[in-house]
Amino acid sequence: MRKPRRGKSNASKTAYNGRVYASRLEADYASHLDMLKKIGEVAEWYPQQPRLDLVVNGVKVGYYTPDFEIHSPDGSVVLVDTKGFVPQGWPFRLKVIRACHPNVDLRIVRREDF
């Protein structure tokens, strides 16, 4: 039997609803979003959308792709990153993301948040 593949955070890739997510936490959150969509609290959601370029002083220094883009019934959009743990360098990367995209509503979701 083949061992499940692991991502950069040593998380097990997990399938849900025909799509493979980078971790069980991501797949569980996708399931949670489907439930919220059924009861009308979420209008639509998309995995791994959109890719945000990180530009500092006119130079592209990297990019960031959130785990989920969530559209509320009122038209607001939230980007969500699921985190089972905080990887080294993440706090600084989060500051860069927020500095490059100050108008983006980016939220970090942990297992205990849903």
**pLDDT of 86:** 87
**pLDDT of 11:** 82
Quick one: tokens of 97? 């993301």
Print burial letters for 43-62: b (CB count within 10 Å at least 16), e (below 16): eebebeeeebebeeeeeeee
Q: Could you give the C-alpha distances from 91 to 48, 66, 101, in angstroms and in order?
A: 20, 15, 15
Decide: helix, strand or coil at residue 93: helix
The model carries a pTM of: 0.87
pLDDT tens by residue, the chain, 114 residues: 545 555 556 789 999 999 999 999 999 999 999 999 999 999 999 999 999 999 999 999 999 999 999 999 999 999 999 999 988 999 999 999 999 999 999 999 999 999
**pLDDT of 73:** 98
Pairing assessment for the beta strands 44-47 and 68-71 based on DSSP bridges: antiparallel
Decide: helix, strand or coil at residue 35: helix
Give yes or no for a contact between 23 and 9, defined as CB atoms under 8 angstroms apart: yes
The domains of the chain are located at: 43-113
Q: Where are the beta strands (DSSP E) in 3-103?
A: 14-16, 19-21, 44-47, 52-56, 59-64, 68-71, 77-82
